[in-house]
Chains A and B, each alone.
Chain A
Amino acid sequence: MDILRIATAGSVDDGKSTLIGRLLYETNSITKDKIEALESASKRKGLNFLDLSLLTDGLIAEREQGITIDVANIYFSTPTRKYIIADTPGHIEYTRNMVTGASNAKVSLILVDARQGIVEQTSRHLSIASLLRIPKVIICVNKMDLVQYEESKFNEIQHKLSELVSKTTFLGQTVSYLPISSLFGQNITKKAVEMPWFNGNTLLGELETFEFAETLAQAPARFPVQFVVRPMTEAYHDYRGYAGKISSGTFKVGDEIRVLPTGQTSIIATIEKFENSLEQAIAGESIVMTLSNDIDISRGNSIVLASETDVPSLKDFSAHVCWLDHQALSPGKTYLLQHGIHVTKAKIIQITERLDVSQQTSETEVGQLNLNEIGKISLRTAQAISADKYSENPSNGSFILIDEFSNSTVGVGFVD
């Protein structure tokens, strides 16, 4: 059983809460106590139906109390899959939260109000989905009930959306458009009886049939060494295992490997998962690897296939960054750069561009990058990092920037 992570974002009014509530409800994911709470809350509001939006709207109360709202995780499952929705409510710190929530997502769920069509957020959301190379975007044209389920209305919005999408999308991204009504459960998990003209999937159908595992296993093989296991017991006297989670690709017993940055080579003797020996392991698996000869490897080193001779080793490079901190990013400043588990110092050389993700434009001559802004920077690191271009291998192409004094995570970067 696999896990599909979905990112969604939006303001309270676009029906996102109702949509998530509807998904949970129709997949039998709401527990008894939650239904009871929902019933009484709906009654208090004077409604004669279950207000499904209240399920995730604990967050509204938080906003009223002035607490920072950010990413909330919502869980549900079907016989096919387990789903994790990273839900980011509309808020001033929109971009920061949207990027954070979307960073692990394979699907971006975007809502459009059928009465309003495209708004600024739609554009922002699409841009971020592409910046993060999210392979699948599902645009739900919601509240179709309020436009009498009219096909022409949907077609009109879809036409405008596809024009916008053509500016943001990348090769390998699939975008689907669904007319739905969250309030009346049209096209969420069941075919819309009110929209017989629509032949596409339901929302759940889109999620259940989306295949994504293959690509990651076929990407270049990257294994960052997290921890060296040295039991030094009698039974395992000379044992030296390299523990970590494969970030991309596939490793097999017998593969010739190279260690970065040292360049030493060896052969994979075993791949272990607890008491089991495996023939091979793929991206996402936490394993222990042993090698045929003793070489010096420590945490932060990266193991790649020896046959791959041109694995990048970067010290001077450019990247897109999204700034997450109140204190702006400015050239000349140094930060700690964490790429996967490898931490090194980094100096910001220049901010070359600032992107306006809602207008699809950019400006050069940038003095600093503020909270929630996305820009392009050039930087230099103290030690080389073995990072791929984010667009070519996302799971090995991102990094975070950490403020050395506050220890906060202040930015996220995507290697160009």
Chain B
Amino acid sequence: MSTKMSAIQDKIGQFPRELEDESIYIMREVAAQFERPALLFSGGKDSITLVRLAQKAFFPGKIPFPLVHIDTGHNFPETIEFRDWLAKETGAELIVRYVQDSIDQGKAKEESGKYASRNVLQTVTLLDTIEEFKFDACIGGARRDEEKARAKERIFSVRDDFGQWDAKRQRPELFDMLNGRISVGENVRVFPISNWTELDVWNYIKEEKMEIPSIYFAHQRQVIQRDGMLWADSEHLNKEADEIPFETTVRFRTVGDMTCTAAVSSHAVDINVIIEEILSAEISERGARIDDKRSEAAMEKRKQQGYF
């Protein structure tokens, strides 16, 4: 085994089961402490993981709160198909609300230009949905390893009427005690996988043999090249004249809207390869920077395997 491959094997490791115990505990606290919780479901791997955890937390009972999907109208059809399948499979209630409705009601305005997306508009629809159903807790799949500001986010994060987060009003969270008491009008965002890293999520999906939407795996797709990235061609993408779609083999590392998620060139058709691919990209790049003597070999190896 080469140095790089063994470094990757070392990094993959196993899923620490303690994380699952912790997340299930949080799920149960949500069900016990709130009157109308909901699980925000995007169709991505993190929210699929949440559904799995909720399913485990209340088994053999059903998930005691609905899955809420804010449909931007720009989702991959594969995601929508998967969402409906998962709701049926778990017996959970599914609530879908549409950004298009918020636009039609004049509450949100469609963006223009080639980078137009509905990513920002979702918030309007989400807040309306929270109000419509009087949700007092919304479970989300955010993780602290995603960025620096998130590193300080609480597991129970109290929001005001407008869904705003006030860093100064954050409650200290000690030991595993979660304080979900709120005043009228306030609600709580709950992040059960706060302490998971991206790798933990992938390892969990692998160990649990979970189903994920097909677009995470390599497939043939019409794409355009823009800013050095591959964008899925669709009716929602505002293309310029010189942006000619072509077909290639890609997969998606994260799954959001078709208009704001870039694809990567990949031939990974099973989860082991996906995990290796994620780590390989990072480790060899790092090798190239830190230890420039090894960089040539690392780069070559990557090319051989067809990455980038």
Which A residues lie at the B interface, using CB under 8 A? 1-3, 28, 30-32, 35, 39, 58-59, 67-68, 70-75, 77-79, 82, 84, 96-97, 99-100, 103-104, 226-227, 229-231, 233, 235-236, 239, 241, 243-245, 272-275, 284-286, 288, 299, 324, 336, 338, 340-341, 395, 398-400, 402, 407-409, 412
Contacts and interface: CB of A to CB of B under 8 A. Distances in A.
| Residue of A82, A241, A398 with highest tally of chain B CB at under 10 A | A82
B59 interface: yes
Nearest to B25: A245
Given A227-B57, A231-B61, 17 more contacts: A3-B19, A31-B286, A58-B148, A59-B148, A67-B167, A68-B170, A71-B152, A73-B144, A73-B194, A226-B25, A231-B60, A244-B25, A245-B24, A275-B59, A288-B59, A338-B177, A340-B177
Chain A interface mostly helix, strand, loop or mixed? mixed
Interface of B: 7, 10-11, 13-22, 24-25, 28-29, 31-32, 55-62, 144-145, 148-149, 151-152, 167-177, 179, 181-183, 194-195, 197, 199-200, 281-283, 285-286, 289-290
A244 B28 contact: yes
Contacts of B199: 77
B16 A70 contact: no
B220 to A, nearest CB: 28
B16 A82 contact: yes
Contacts of A324: 172
A402 B290 CA distance: 49
A30 B16 contact: no
A354 B114 CA distance: 63
A103 B205 CA distance: 30
Contacts of A400: 174, 177, 179
Contacts of A78: 10
B10 A79 contact: yes
Contacts of A74: 151
A47 B85 CA distance: 54
13 contacts: A30-B286, A35-B289, A70-B172, A71-B152, A82-B13, A227-B32, A245-B21, A274-B55, A284-B21, A286-B22, A399-B177, A402-B181, A407-B181
B286 A35 contact: yes
Given A39-B289, A71-B152, A1 B13 contact: yes
B167 A104 contact: no
A103 B174 CA distance: 6
Given A71-B152, A75-B197, A409-B174, A230 B61 contact: yes
Contact of A286 (B20, B177, B197, B285): B20
Contacts of B28: 226-227, 243-244, 286
Contact of B171 (A104, A341, A398, A409): A409
Contacts of B148: 58-59, 72
Contact of B183 (A67, A97, A407): A407
B152 A77 contact: no
Contacts of A407: 179, 181-183
B15 A1 contact: yes
A168 B116 CA distance: 60
Given A73-B151, A402-B181, A409-B172, A286 B21 contact: yes
B151 to A, nearest CB: 4
Given A274-B56, A402-B179, A68 B168 contact: yes
Contacts of A100: 172-174
B32 A226 contact: yes
A230 B183 CA distance: 29
Contact of B285 (A32, A82, A409): A32
B172 A104 contact: no
B11 A77 contact: yes
6 nearest A-B residue pairs (beta carbon)? A58-B148, A286-B24, A407-B181, A231-B61, A32-B285, A286-B21
B11 A28 contact: yes
A59 B182 CA distance: 28
A1 B60 contact: no
A3 B18 contact: yes
A274 B63 CA distance: 13
A3 B176 contact: no
